[in-house]
Amino acid sequence: MTDQSLIILGASGDLTARLLLPGLGALLAAGHVPGLQLIGAATEDWDDARWQTRVSESFGFPYEKTRYLRADVTHTDDLRAVLAAADGPPAIFFALPPAVTARACEALLDADLPDGTRLVLEKPFGVSSETAAQLNNLLTRLVPEDRIHRVDHFLGKSTVLNILGLRFANRIFEPLLNSTHVASVDIVFDEDLALENRAGYYDRAGALADMIQSHLLQILGLLAMEPPTSLDAGELRDRLADVLRATHIWEDNPAAFSRRARYTAGSLRSRHLPGYAEEPGVDPSRNTETLAEVVLAVDTWRWAGVPFRLRSGKAIGDSRKEAVVTFRCPPRVPDGLTGHDQPDRLRIGFGPDKLALDFNINGPDDPFELDQVTLEAGFGPGDLPPYGEVLRGVFDNDPTLSIRADVAEQCWRIVEPVTAAWAAGKVPLLEYPAGSPGITDSLLTP
Ligand code: NDP
């Protein structure tokens, strides 16, 4: 499709420079959206030449069909001027602080958006189910829901398809993925990155809101959803919403089934890191957690009784990013065979996406002694970086990767009891040294 235009509000910001422009460059280089008109806007006093240089450097090739407009996006008149510069109905990317995004949406109410306008929003979508609902109401006064793209760049299209392909295009896994055969599911995103100068955002979010409420619940949805009949966006998003509606904190007891911690000073890959509370821009009295863990119940026929443990930590020595399905033990192993104390596990690793299956076979030496072995395979990588995939979905009017309004609200509803229990001091804020494995003394187990 030609004659598309993209307006980036917040063109001088970090997201635009680090992720958005490189993703867009990759999309254009792959031959998508030929002739795209790109408009950048922010309050910074830049001119077209400075912006063009930034765009061309990010893309890795010169790009001239772009201009920069100085605008305060909370003012309707400024927004009108930006919209007037677009050739056709634009996609508007809000690369803005969340509070500014909400004010820009209010200002757009009077800006006469052209039919066909698409809105692209970054997480966080609100800070609670109530604020998410307010934002959603505002957005649907601007454009229909199917033209709203709530971006979750963590789940690239290839990761979504990899999980669906594994589950639903094989006879040998899916029949086992239920409470009869599965003992527990862990979804872990422990990263070796620390705060990396993002205190302004992170200190108000923390691991629960930054990772579990958004990204890890999306993975839970894909792993636990019922089979969709097609990859149609409406169908997939319905199945995702079904399973998230059935999800809640284990026994509705966040004091027992959630955990929080923050890192203290330590050393990570021979780099000394200050404790989180000493990082510039952090207000230690906020008690922001850099590691969060929750146990969830998915109350469906398929999954009732199976704990889903979700965990994410920063500044962890051994970064580990995977979903692990742990199977129940076999009902009876013949007397005489030994070494079968480890359960079978299906592990899906993220970035790069890979698959591993741990199971017990008769080992190389004593044939009575079983050994756990691992079969491994790589999933196909996507052909675009995550933001390239996100933008392709926007330009193709394909909302598959976008978080639907009700799903955004459900994800807040699931974690809200935890936030409330933490605020009420019912769960202690533990500590772990940066570079350590985090909190490992005991698993949160029902
Ligand atoms: P920054 O603070 O780096 O950038 C914000 C941008 O908004 C700047 O270009 C600023 O421009 C502009 N801006 C602020 N107020 C106005 C205004 N009234 N009118 C016009 N422009 C305005 O934030 P980030 O880029 O880091 O984040 C943007 C969004 O992306 C946030 O929602 C964040 O949560 C999300 N996000 C960011 C990630 C990242 O890695 N950075 C990752 C995932 C999500 P100026 O100073 O010129 O006014």
Strand partners, 406: none
What was the pLDDT predicted at 445?
Answer: 77
Distance between Cα 16 and ligand 1 center (Å): 8
For 404-429, what is each residue's pLDDT tens digit? 999 999 999 999 999 999 999 999 99
For 217-271, what is each residue's pLDDT tens digit? 999 999 999 999 999 999 999 999 999 999 999 999 999 999 999 999 999 989 9
Distance between Cα 385 and ligand 1 center (Å): 20
Ligand 1 binding pocket includes 10 (Cβ within 6 Å): yes
User: Among residues 300, 301, 297, 304, which one has the least CA distance to residue 444?
Assistant: 297
Q: Give the position, in ligand 1's atom list, of the atom nearest the Cα of 72.
A: 19
Tokens of 362: 């008769």
Distance between Cα 9 and ligand 1 center (Å): 8
Tokens of 136: 């959603």
> How much of the chain exceeds pLDDT 90, in percent?
87
How far is 391 from 387, CA to CA, in rounded Å? 6
For residue 45, the Cα-to-chain-centroid distance in whole angstroms is 33
145, pLDDT greater than 90: yes
What was the pLDDT predicted at 157?
Answer: 82
Strand partners, 305: none
Residues in Cβ contact with 144 at an 8 Å cutoff, skipping those fewer than 6 apart: none
CA dist 282 → 198, 212, 288, 303 (Å): 9, 21, 9, 40
Q: Give the position, in ligand 1's atom list, of the atom nearest the Cα of 19.
A: 40
What was the pLDDT predicted at 1?
Answer: 47
Ligand 1 binding pocket includes 96 (Cβ within 6 Å): yes
H or E element at residue 291: strand 291-298
Catalytic residue set: 215
For residue 196, the Cα-to-chain-centroid distance in whole angstroms is 18
Distance between Cα 102 and ligand 1 center (Å): 13
Distance between Cα 382 and ligand 1 center (Å): 27
CA dist 101 → 10, 41, 54, 385, 424 (Å): 10, 13, 23, 24, 30
Distance between Cα 428 and ligand 1 center (Å): 33
Characterize 298-328 residue by residue with b for buried, 16 or more Cβ atoms within 10 angstroms of its Cβ, and e for exposed. bebebbeebbbbbbbbbbbbebbbbbbbbbe
What was the pLDDT predicted at 383?
Answer: 85
102, pLDDT greater than 60: yes
399: preceding bond cis by omega (within 30 degrees): no
Nearest CA to ligand 1 atom 10: 10
Nearest CA to ligand 1 atom 17: 72
For 156-215, what is each residue's pLDDT tens digit? 788 889 999 999 999 999 999 999 999 999 999 999 999 988 898 899 999 999 999 999
Tell me the mean pLDDT in the region 117-141.
95
Q: Which of 76, 96, 150 to mutate to test the pocket of ligand 1 (most atoms within 8 A of CB)?
A: 96
What was the pLDDT predicted at 165?
Answer: 96
pLDDT band at 441; cut points 50, 70, 90:
low
Helices of type H across 65-128: 76-84, 98-108
How far is 56 from 61, CA to CA, in rounded Å? 5
Distance between Cα 153 and ligand 1 center (Å): 16
User: What is the average pLDDT score of the chain?
Assistant: 94
2, pLDDT greater than 70: no
pLDDT band at 129; cut points 50, 70, 90:
very high
Ligand 1 binding pocket includes 72 (Cβ within 6 Å): yes
Q: Which of 201, 214, 314, 390 to mutate to test the pocket of ligand 1 (most atoms within 8 A of CB)?
A: 201
Q: Which of 7, 8, 9, 14 to mutate to test the pocket of ligand 1 (most atoms within 8 A of CB)?
A: 14
370 φ, ψ (degrees, to nearest 5)? -85, 145
Beta strands in 34-172 (DSSP E): 37-42, 66-70, 90-94, 118-121, 148-150
352, pLDDT greater than 60: yes
- Which residue type sits at 235? E
For 377-389, what is each residue's pLDDT tens digit? 999 888 898 899 9
Helices of type H across 246-348: none
Q: Give the position, in ligand 1's atom list, of the atom nearest the Cα of 44.
A: 47
Tokens of 406: 């009700």
303, pLDDT greater than 90: yes
Ramachandran category for residue 169: left, alpha or beta (phi over 0 → left; psi -120 to 50 → alpha)? alpha
Nearest CA to ligand 1 atom 21: 42
Characterize 4-29 residue by residue with b for buried, 16 or more Cβ atoms within 10 angstroms of its Cβ, and e for exposed. bbbbbbbbbbebbeebbbbbbbbbbe
Ligand 1 binding pocket includes 43 (Cβ within 6 Å): yes
